[in-house]
Amino acid sequence: MRISRSRTAFTLVELLVVIAIIGVLVGLLLPAVQAAREAARRMSCSNNFKQIGLAVHNYHSAYKQLPTHGSGTPNIGGTPDGETAARAPTANHRRELSWLVALTPFIEQQALWEQISNPLQDPLTGAIFPSMGPAPRRWLAHHAVTRYEPWLTEVPGFRCPSDPGVGLPAQGRTNYVACVGDSAFQLAGIAGDNGQTNSNQAQNARAGCRGVFVHRADSRFRDILDGLSNTICAGEIATDLGDNDTRTRGAHSGGEVSAAGGVLLCDDEVDPNRPQFWKAGFTNAPLQGGGTDEEQRRGYKWAMSRGIWGKFTTISPPNSLLCMETNNFNDSILPASSRHQGGVHVLMADGAIKFVTDSIEAGNQSSAQVGNGAAYLPAGSQSPFGLWGALGTRAAKETDTTLE
């Protein structure tokens, strides 16, 4: 008698079919997982911005004004920035500290604020910086000589989780900057590095500085006549990754960006095959402030109030070109930007967080901007940049600008 014994097992073909099916399922599931992760990062980014909004309101409740964007000690008599050990004790910050510096004790960064607001020793030289430290404009060019730790500190609450940028040559990165309105005219604000102003500066600032924040000037909620819920207080930016991204590295306009057609002056510098990047050999924005080209990029200095580091304008729609006029400090087209798909977060003056799409109505991009002089729209004009521009003005009497 012979007993037949059969063995049960997968054949090679069956095993390959099962593996193929699993691969297809993973391929179908992966985009959904990535989308869920991005949704979580976007929610976390919104929450970080919300905490900043609450800090702004708490600050206003405590001091009866908004944190000054462009605060600190003035540069009187050429007092140095503290770039050498001998000069560190006499350093000033040229009235260039951003609104975020004053908010640190209101976002659970009391330890960092204690370092900033008290004299601090340089770990490299032993020299002692004065209270509030040196100007944050140029660290990298002198990092082997002096080192001011607070400006190099990365504050988690100032970062969007969707932005992968880390480390040098940035100081401390930020993804949240102040809204300075719908005009690039007189973005330097109402005073110079020395803290002094004149009638011409004041007149220009009254005409062109239409945002919640006016550089080097005090602002209050009562100044926002359009209503807190109708006015953008701050916006999101992407930080530079070391490439030629049109949103994070500035091109030189070669002309006046606040005059008619100025918004479009950098369009010819874009790579036609990759519109998100500048073309090879594009005209880079000129250097300013004694730093290096590598450190003069978007989002690289959270403590710096000026230009590409601390401001955004509601002129071009979100994720548009970063177009610089004469330098990285003053009059420039500074759009909001982000690593999210299709738009950016903005903080309204009432503390609400809104997501604004890249397709928001932005009026006539060829228009001159509001300023002081024959080449500009007269002071008090309605924003020429549609809904987006109207949201950036604090007192232009545009009332139909509520975002849903």
Determine what percent of the chain falls in helix, strand and coil, rounding each to the nearest 5.
30, 10, 60
Q: Which residues pair with 323 in a beta bridge?
A: 251, 333
Neighbouring C-alpha atoms within 13 Å toward the C-beta of 107: 23
> Residue 1 pLDDT > 60, yes or no?
no
The pLDDT assigned to 139 comes to 56
Cis peptide before 164 (omega within 30 of 0): no
Element (H, E) at 333: strand 332-333
Query: What is residue 63's predicted lDDT score, i.e. its pLDDT?
Result: 94
Within 8 A by CB and 6+ apart from 306, the residues are 70, 96, 137, 188, 215, 328, 329, 330
Stated pTM of the model: 0.86
To 5 degrees, how large is the angle CA 224–CA 228–CA 229? Answer: 145
State how far the Cα of 28 lies from the Cα of 117, in Å rounded to an integer: 53
Q: Tell me the pLDDT band of 336, cut-offs 50, 70 and 90.
A: very high
Percent of the chain whose predicted confidence (pLDDT) is above 70 = 89
Residue 283 three-state SS: coil
Q: Is the pLDDT of residue 138 over 70?
A: no
pLDDT tens for 53-66 read: 999 999 999 999 99
Omega of the bond leading into 169 within 30 degrees of 0 (cis): yes
Mean pLDDT, the chain, as a whole number? Answer: 85
Question: What residues contact residue 25 under an 8 Å CB cut-off, 6+ apart?
Answer: none
- Tell which wins on pLDDT, 171 or 193: 171
CA atoms of 213 and 234, how far apart (whole Å): 9
Q: Could you give the CA distance from residue 402 to residue 166 in angstroms, rounded to a whole number?
A: 35
Cβ(84)–Cβ(90) under 8 Å? no
Q: Answer whether residue 389 shows pLDDT above 90.
A: yes
List pLDDT tens digits, range 274-311: 999 999 888 888 777 656 777 888 999 999 988 889 99
Tokens of 129: 């910086």
Which has more confidence, 320 or 77?
320
Position 136 confidence tier, pLDDT thresholds 50, 70, 90 = confident
Q: Tell me the residue length of the chain.
A: 404
The mean pLDDT of 13-38, rounded to a whole number, is: 76
Pick from 96-110, 219-233, 288-302: least confident:
288-302
pLDDT of 385 > 80? The answer is: yes
Average pLDDT over residues 28-54: 80
CB atoms within 10 A of CB 129: 24
pLDDT value, residue 141: 47
What pLDDT does 291 receive?
66
Could you please report the per-residue DSSP string of 208-264? H--SS--TTS---GGG-TT-GGGSEEEEE-PPP-SS-BTTTSPEE-SS-TTSTTGGG
Indicate whether 211 pLDDT > 60.
yes
Q: 203, exposed or middle or buried, with CB in 10 Å at 0-12, 13-18, 19+?
A: middle
Question: When comparing pLDDT for 290 and 226, which is higher?
Answer: 226
Measure the CA–CA gap between 243 and 271, rounded to whole angstroms. Answer: 13
Q: Does the pLDDT at position 404 exceed 60?
A: no
Residues in a beta bridge with 345: 355
Q: pLDDT digits over 117-127, tens only?
A: 999 888 778 88
